[in-house]
Amino acid sequence: MMRCHPDSFEGKEYVARLWKHECERAFTDKLSSPSDKGMVASLIQETIDETLGKLASKCQGTFYFCTFVQDEEDRLLADGEVDPDAFFQPYEVCQHFESLQGKVKKLLGKYNSSTLKRWTLCCFSMPSSIC
């Protein structure tokens, strides 16, 4: 949560969604059974519903936060050099798993084109896997 830049906060909804994301990463990701994951997801949503009131409706669904949403080209200055202020990449929201998966595959392709040791990656999305 400390990687979030104040300029990227879009209000209370942003903080609530970020909190939900962090709870899911801390608790749900460690579980292997779909029923256990569902139970924890329900507990997280119940907690949100009980504590956030009307704001809870803005936290329905899944939100992914990561530091690589912004394209490298967006961190370049007019002369083509990397902006030194862009070294810190903010923790940003990515609402759709498919767009997150596409970004990860693009970055992996870039990495694999610059090294002899290539990586492969399989992304899992509940309840089915996407490779």
Q: In this predicted model, what pLDDT tens digit does every residue of 11-29 receive, in sequence order?
A: 788 888 888 888 988 998 8
Same structural domain for residues 59 and 18? yes
Domains in the chain, number: 2
Q: Is the peptide bond before 127 cis (omega within 30 degrees of 0)?
A: yes
Check whether 39 has a pLDDT greater than 80: yes
Same structural domain for residues 110 and 121? yes
> What confidence tens digit (pLDDT) does each residue in 69-105 have?
666 666 667 777 766 666 666 777 777 778 788 888 8
What integer pLDDT is reported at residue 44 of this predicted model?
92
Check whether 126 has a pLDDT greater than 50: no
Cβ atoms 91, 67 nearer than 8 A: yes
Residue 1 lies in a domain: no
What is the percent of the chain with per-residue pLDDT over 70, rounded to a whole number?
Answer: 72
pTM, entire model: 0.65
Residue 28 lies in a domain: yes
The whole-angstrom separation of Cα 107 and Cα 72 is 10
Confidence of residue 6 (pLDDT cuts 50, 70, 90): low
Same structural domain for residues 54 and 87? yes
**Structural domain harbouring 106:** 97-131
The DSSP code sequence of the chain is: -TT--GGG--SHHHHHHHHHHHHHHHTGGG---HHHHHHHHHHHHHHHHHHHGGGGGGG-S--EEES--S-GGGGB-TTSPBPGGGSS---EEE--HHHHHHHHHHHHHHHHTT-SS-----EE-SSSEE-
The whole-angstrom separation of Cα 13 and Cα 30 is 25
Residue 85 lies in a domain: yes
Residue 75 lies in a domain: yes
Same structural domain for residues 26 and 77? yes
Torsion of CA 34, 39, 44, 50, to 10 degrees: 150
Most confident of the following: 26-40, 84-98, 104-118: 26-40
What integer pLDDT is reported at residue 115 of this predicted model?
86
